[in-house]
Amino acid sequence: MVKIVIDKVTKRFGPFTAIDAMDAVFDDGAVTCLLGPSGCGKTTLMRMIVGLEQPTVGRIFFGDRDMSGLPPRKRNVGMVFQYPVMYQTLSVEENIALPLTQDRSLSAQERDKRIDEVLDILDMRDKRKLFIGDLDAGSRQKVAVGRAVARRSDIVLFDEPTTNVEVQAKLLLIRAFKLVTQRLKQTIVYVTHDQTEAMTLADCVALMRDGRIIQYDRPADLYATPATEFAGWFLGNPGMNFMPARKTAAGIETPLTAAPVAADAEVSGNGTLTAGIRPEHVRLGATAAPGAVPGVLKDLSVTIAGRFIANVRIEGDTIVKVKTDEAIAARPGDTVYLAADPAGLSFYSDGNRVAAAVRQSQ
Amino acid sequence: MSSRLMPGVLDNRRFLVFALLVPVLAFFVVFNTIPTLWLLGLSFHKFSLISGMPPEFFGLRNFEDIYYNKNGIWGDLGRTFLFVGVGVTVQTVLGVLLGFLFWGSKDMPGRRIALTLLFTPMVLTPVATGTFFRFIYDPTFGVLNALLTGGLGMGVVDFLGNPKIAYWAVLAVDCWMWTPFMTLMTLAALGSVPKAELEAAEIDRLSWPKRISLVIWHHGKFILMLGILLRTIDAFKTLDLIIPMTKGGPGQTTRLVAVELNKQSFESFNMGWSSAYSVLLLLISIAMTSIFIYILNRRRRAR
């Protein structure tokens, strides 16, 4: 059981800085997801942890052991790649056994026990004698996972392992990952650009952008209280709504509230703010209601789980995305009314969260 | 007018395929199939270009002559097989080692220049290479003997004149020339190994023999075997390298099959006999290729 400590790590590829003076600690026994858009440096960070790349500046510790300059084989880590690696001349069982046979301290019975255990967790008992030609991409990736975890190394890394797998198999694969991570208490770093995957698997999500971790939080907190506009926009489908807001003597005025709202923290600066609210925190109605503001319905579409997503244009030409459970009796072009749930309203200055709206006690 | 006609004609897939194939097929038939059939026919005839006589049907006499070792051709065949066996083995071993060296030194400064220099022997004309090496090997003013006598204090060695050495001296030039080809094939074979599998093998702490047998060989074997096949066929036909160096001498010690065939057909104009000999060599080439392809396919089937 070791935690991973990233100590002032910078990685440059020529003039391009992939990782910029990063400090981070990934807890032992936890699943940390590195989440971020393409090119944010998450894969580079993981390759430095595993030892396939060396940092330009800074050090990486496993527990209190300095890993600088050590090749991957000396770091005792397992890794699952984007491309499902399965040694093609070996069967499923032999693949999983291969890293174990490199460990001479392991008895044959212990080895068989571990292989059985891993095959059980991955639900691949009946496939143990098969070869790569008999397996689909999802099963191949499961074999790769089995090989990475059977060794019981302290740390296991996943590099976007579901990218090359079709949707149906992807869900099964994520379920298998969840089982594996719950059963084996290894320190896991999981790189993905898929927020659903990160939310499902992670104990903690490290949200990355431009070579930095901009927020490191539990998935629910990350979603509920994004520390930056970027986090609010990147997480959620669709992401957070943003609109200009202004601080006045009476509170903060936003286009989505009929009256100014009070903030839970003192907001400094010249009073120009951005208000952010998630689409599910906006209520949509066909008739006027107290506190609601009018807008023009642009379009309305059905999304998963029978929910609706509406785009509504309100004052100031702002388009507000609304997620709602009930359909409303309105057609595009009709006037509708929007009300903001104060619990979901927060304020940003220069891209960073500065305050949230106070819940009214009415 | 043609614009109205052409689209309809070109839209017809079968016609298009046929139209695209015709030039190649015509070329192949005129310059390959017909001469080969002609050759096959001539091999049953007695025909000399200098006698002025028309070809005379001869039955299997030419092949009988070959069987009874006319012109000492069984010796030529033995020498050629030794040449192919030793040459291709040395080139493969050296080429693979050099390939691994260049593969493992991707960040070395000067690697590109070294690679370019390494590949120059391969792109030279064999006749030019042979001529250069005749001068290099020369006992009186050759640079190699200057080094041996001046630098190492050894006696003069007549590389191409000594019947015991000439064969190996010629073989060494062939290796000098064609090892880079096997290096190139090795680099191509190594390039076909997925990077993730190599990285996985490193993380899984596999030993080097295991990495080579489980990952590298599995992905690279086809290209490497193809290289060996091409080298085998090519080495079997070696002629232009030997002509400027020894012309098959001293005695017959460097006389490979192609050297003798060249002499019989284009110096003695003994066309009937040469044709029979060519047919035999063609059959040997086909047999070797078939064996290679069989080995490659058997490996794939076994998986």
**Domains of chain B, earliest start first:** 71-302 (1.10.3720.10)
pLDDT-above-70 percentage for chain A: 98
Q: Tokens in use for B166?
A: 């000439």
Tell me what the pLDDT averaged over chain B comes to: 85
The reply to whether B205 touches chain A by the CB within 8 Å rule is: yes
- The DSSP code for A306 is G
Q: Does B56 touch chain A (CB under 8 A)?
A: no
Task: Please give the pLDDT value at position B252.
Answer: 84
Is pLDDT above 90 for B88? yes
This prediction's pTM? 0.77
**Which chain B residues are within 8 Å of A79, Cβ to Cβ?**
199-200, 203
Pairing of strands A155-159, A77-80: parallel
**How near does any CA of chain A get to the CA of B246, in Å?**
49
Determine the Cα–Cα distance for residues A205 and A31; give it in Å rounded to an integer: 8
Instruction: Return the residue of B nearest to A97 by Cα.
Output: B204
Cis bond upstream, residue A238 (ω within 30):
yes
Which of the four pLDDT bands, split at 50, 70 and 90, describes residue B95? very high
Which of A79, A102, A131 is closest, CB to CB, to B206? A102
Select the CATH number that applies to the domain covering A4-224 from these four: 3.40.50.620, 3.40.50.300, 1.10.357.10, 3.40.50.720: 3.40.50.300
Q: Does B212 touch chain A (CB under 8 A)?
A: no
pLDDT at B85: 93
Residue B84's pLDDT band (cuts 50, 70, 90):
very high
- Using a CB–CB cutoff of 8 Å, tell me whether A14 touches chain B: no
Q: From the list B199, B205, B215, which residue is nearest A52 (CB)?
A: B199
Locate the domains of chain A by residue range. Answer: 4-224, 232-356
CB contact under 8 A, B202 and A73: yes
The residue type found at B89 is T
Nearest by CB: B214 against A83, A89, A131: A89
Q: At residue B24, does pLDDT exceed 90?
A: yes
In angstroms, what CA-CA distances link B27 with A84, A173, A286, A310, B35?
46, 56, 79, 68, 12
Residue A140 and residue A132 in contact, taking contact as beta carbons nearer than 8 Å: yes
| Mean pLDDT within A247-273 | 79
* Beta-carbon count within 10 A of B243 CB: 18
| Rounded percentage of chain B residues whose pLDDT exceeds 70 | 95
Q: B202 in contact with A at a CB cutoff of 8 Å?
A: yes
Distance CA(A135)–CA(A127), nearest Å, equals 9
Helix (H, G, I), strand (E, B) or coil at A259: coil
The span from the CA of A76 to the CA of B205, in Å, is: 9
Residues in B touching A83 (Cβ below 8 Å):
194, 196
At residue B153, does pLDDT exceed 80? no
- For B300, which residue in chain A has the nearest alpha carbon? A89
* Residue A22 banded pLDDT, cuts 50, 70, 90: confident
Q: How far apart are the first and last CA of chain B?
A: 58
* pLDDT, position B149: 83
| Chain A touched by B295 (CB under 8 Å) | no
pLDDT beyond 50 at B226: yes
State the Cα–Cα distance between residues A301 and A310, nearest whole angstrom: 6
Write the ipTM: 0.76
CATH superfamily ID and name for A232-356: Nucleic acid-binding proteins (2.40.50.140)
CB proximity under 8 Å: B 228-257 to A = none
Band of residue A361 on the pLDDT scale cut at 50, 70, 90: very low
In chain A, the residue whose alpha carbon lies closest to the alpha carbon of B212 is A87
Cis link prior to A84 (omega < 30° from 0)?
no
* Weakest-pLDDT range from A77-86, A104-113, A228-237, B174-183: A104-113
Q: What value, to the nearest 5°, has the Cα angle with vertex B76 and ends B71 and B77? A: 120
pLDDT classification of B1: cutoffs 50, 70, 90: very low
Name the amino acid, one letter, at A313: R
As a whole number, mean pLDDT of residues B26-33 equals 93
Residue A98 makes CB contacts below 8 A (sequence gap 6+) with A87, A90, A147, B204, B206, B210, B214
pLDDT average, residue stretch B214-221: 87
User: What is the Cα–Cα distance from B60 to A218, expressed in whole angstroms?
Assistant: 89
